[in-house]
Structure 1
Amino acid sequence: MTAFDWQRMLLDDFPVLFLGEVALRALFAFVVVFLFLKVSGRRGVRQLSLFELVVILTLGSAAGDVSFYEDVPLLPIAMVFATLLLLYRLTVLAMSHSIRFSNWMEGKPVTIIEDGLYALNSLNRYNISSDEFFMELRQQGVEHLGQVRLGILETDGDVSLYFNPPEAIKPGLSVLPPEHRPAYERMPATAVYACTRCGHTQLINSQQQALCPRCRHAVWSLALNNQRLR
């Protein structure tokens, strides 16, 4: 083999007309995937459930094979798409008739914030890191957990938030990036601090160390009490 052989790198032993066949195959794959999404009832793919993600990845694999490999005929790939569509419809039908099966396939909404605190059972059971949705909270105008009455992690990965009214906002854990949310084990001043793991708040004196009574964590951040900007 010769290095930097442009004939091999660009087209290898295929004739130039094969580029036209590749274009036709790519068009075929595009149309079939588009029709699949239309027939299946999907209106968008911003967030996919686990089940839908598996279907899309399988579609992408089949579409890639038929687009680039000259020895992959079109009709078997069409059968792959038809089979996936049938399986999709049957699975959706089964999910609509069985809540247990639906929960097993796509999961259930998970409460992650309750009354300004992280739900410890959810964090531990589902191995959720608070940093995973801090960005989502900031994008929805949240500065600290005391502004949030209820937060639910949906099955598609979105976070649904229900806010406290202004008069009910209390001190809470900051969701700002680490450079704007310094953490302490020994408090620099007497103030209300928030546990960086669960959000519990309490007054801690200057130069004092404390264990969180809720989760036994020893790292704290200064609690914020700002109103939510609309």
Structure 2
Amino acid sequence: MDQAVIPFDWARMLLGEEPPTFLLEILLRTIVIYIYTFGLIRWIGGRSISQLSMVEFLLVIALGSAVGDSLFYPDVPLLHAMLVITVIVLINKGLDYLILWSDKAQTAINGIPNWIVRSGRLNPDQTSDRGIGKAEVLALLRIEGISNLGEVEHAFLEANGDLSVFRAREPIAGMPIVPPHEICPLPHVEPSLREGEPSPKLCCFDCGMLQSRAETACLHCKGEVWTEAKMPDSRLA
């Protein structure tokens, strides 16, 4: 039978039953878990932690666990929890200084933006690097008030998951994204391949690249599905 907990037992509250050298083990445990968890979050990517940097996100998780355990579990000594909290804050402060003074450290810790839209077309390679699909990119663009890819000159998925959109001064014909394709699918169009017959202005359904001549596969992403390109004001191009 477990021994009854004695309230306000200061020896248990501060040190527990472990020897004082156990504090050094806690120091090592905290550093190892912090680095391991940071690596996992870095791998997950910024879109999962929008509005917070990866360091800030990890700080919230680590402090929440350290503080919570010391509040609810009588077998967690306060000094152990305080050491964990102190080490976490010191590590976080050290990373802040690295980010401040070293561009290489900032890139390694926070990552770099991804160029996901350029001149009205999606960049599948950049979106796949961040684990984000076409539908999610189009949803983020609609949140920014974009109704057609032809309106976008550049769009970047920042390291923290935010989307930076730069509108084109002169919109071009592009793929409509309003209403969402899940609600109102775009009709697929076959490119004209007969000699002497003008090709309609089409865009690749996978990346939005405009077709300048009759092709069976997109020159940018190798997609083979085409839809009619339209001007942002919904007029036919």
TM over 0.5: yes
Aligned to 2:221: 215
Alpha-carbon distance in 2 for matches of 1:80, 1:122: 38
CA distance in 2 between counterparts of 1:204 and 1:100 reads 43
Q: Secondary structure at the match of 1:216?
A: coil
**2:66 matched to 1:62?**
yes
Equivalent position to 1:171, from 165, 170, 173: 173
Residue aligning to 2:20: none
The offset of 1:90, in angstroms, is 0.9
Deviation (angstroms), 1:53: 1.9
Quote the Cα distance in structure 1 between the aligned partners of 2:126 and 2:205. Answer: 16
Are residue 117 (structure 1) and residue 126 (structure 2) matched? no
**One of 204, 209, 218 as aligned partner of 1:200:** 209
Q: 1:192 to 1:89 in 2, by over 3 A?
A: same
Separation in structure 2 between the aligned mates of residue 218 and residue 135 of structure 1, nearest angstrom: 23
Residue 76 of structure 1, aligned match among 76, 80, 84: 80
| Residues 140-159 of structure 1 deviation map (CA, whole Å, 9 limit, x = unaligned) | 11011100111111111000
The residue type equivalent to 1:193 in the other structure is L
Q: Secondary structure at the match of 2:175?
A: coil
Q: Hey, what's the Cα distance between the residues in 2 that align with 1:105 and 1:156?
A: 11
Decide whether aligned partners of structure 1 residues 182 and 204 sit closer, same or farther in structure 2, where only a CA change above 3 A counts. Answer: farther
TM-score, normalised with respect to structure 2: 0.66
- SS of the residue aligned with 1:103? helix
- RMSD of Structure 2 on Structure 1 (CA): 3.0
Partner SS, residue 111 of structure 1 = strand
* 3-state secondary structure, aligned to 1:180: coil
Q: Which moved more, 1:176-185 or 1:140-149?
A: 176-185
Contact 2:99 2:106 in 1 (8 A): yes
Contact 1:112 1:123 in 2 (8 A): yes
Runs of 4+ in 1 over 3 A off after TM superposition: 123-128
Matches within 5 A, 1:50-199: 50-165=54-169, 168-176=170-178, 177-178=180-181, 179-184=183-188, 186=190, 191-199=200-208
Q: Which one is further off, 120-129 or 107-116?
A: 120-129
